[in-house]
Amino acid sequence: MMSNKTYDTLKTVALILVPVLAFIAALVNIWEVPYADKIVASLTALDTLIGTIVAAASKAYKKQAGVEDDG
């Protein structure tokens, strides 16, 4: 089980990273950065991983606390 601080940090990163990824994707394509597709795909994969960890932690917390899971 992760600490609340770790959970909150990961959740914030995941929520902020999505719009940042859209911004980066736009810029690397506009400026024709080498390997732009690989950069964007790698960052998206990282955000997906963090989002999955946050969702799993949330589900485990709710189960432990006896809170009904809404998802």
> Average pLDDT, stretch 7-15?
86
Report pLDDT digits (tens) over 39-57: 888 988 988 898 899 999 9
Would you say how long the chain is, in residues? 71
Q: Is 69 helix (H, G, I), strand (E, B) or coil?
A: coil
Q: How many CA atoms lie within 13 A of 30 on its CB side?
A: 6
The answer to whether residue 70 scores a pLDDT higher than 70 is no
Residue 49, both tokens: 């991983």
Residue 21, both tokens: 């990824």
